[in-house]
Amino acid sequence: MNETLQMILGYALIALIAFLIIRRLVKTARAYLGMKQYVKSAIKLDRKKFNGLQLIDKIKRKRKRHSNSFDALRRRGKMLVRRYLSHKVEELPVFVRYANGSLLKRANNKLFLYVKQDKKTVTKVAIKKGVKPLIELSNQFHCLDELINFLHHLPDAILDKKPLDIYIGQDDANLIYQIK
């Protein structure tokens, strides 16, 4: 009787461990497939509603002359840019998790933007921190158009796992991304 009880408890323990492993795999697979659907819809949304190249053309008329920073924008331009940046802050971490994960493995990688001058890092911005660091970056380096252009092309570069850098002319710097 005692041996059969130990044998039953051993099988129950093995069954419980197998159940937990299968449950974790199913949960990860469902999350990955949900991200895949989100990425597809986000790509369509970027083409129609959140197109960075069209936004650059719109805000050129809504800012003070000879300026390229967020502070120089007028009211409507600030609202458009803030909405675009908040959309990108929400969207880009999902692209990173989707590109670096797989069906049965979770990815916990984070996306960082760097401004480099002559191979020296001047500024590091974490995308997860929100819109404010991006706005401060555009004000500090006067690179709003370059930042919007960079964020527009960034999802494709993340999915293709290719490097992307944009030259900031006024400060002789490059804007690059890195996934850690």
pLDDT, average across residues 42-67: 85
Closest Cα partner for 105 from 32, 20, 179, 18? 32
Question: DSSP character for 96?
Answer: H
Strand partners, 175: 115, 166
pTM across the whole model: 0.81
- The Cβ-side half-sphere exposure at 123, using a 13 Å CA radius, reads 18
What's the pLDDT at 153? 94
Q: Where does residue 85 rank: exposed (0-12), middle (13-18), buried (19+ CB within 10 A)?
A: buried
The answer to whether residue 68 scores a pLDDT higher than 70 is yes
Top-confidence residue, 108 or 45: 45
Closest Cα partner for 50 from 152, 141, 118? 152
* Percentage, residues of the chain above pLDDT 70: 96
Give yes or no for a contact between 113 and 176, defined as CB atoms under 8 angstroms apart: yes
Residue position matching structure tokens 């300026």: 67
φ/ψ region of 178 (left if φ > 0, alpha if ψ in -120 to 50, else beta) reads beta
Top-confidence residue, 171 or 132: 132
- The Cβ-side half-sphere exposure at 166, using a 13 Å CA radius, reads 20
Give the pLDDT confidence of 83-139 residue by residue, as tens digits: 999 999 999 988 888 888 766 666 678 899 999 998 899 999 998 888 999 999 999
> ∠ at Cα 83 (44, 161), nearest 5°?
50
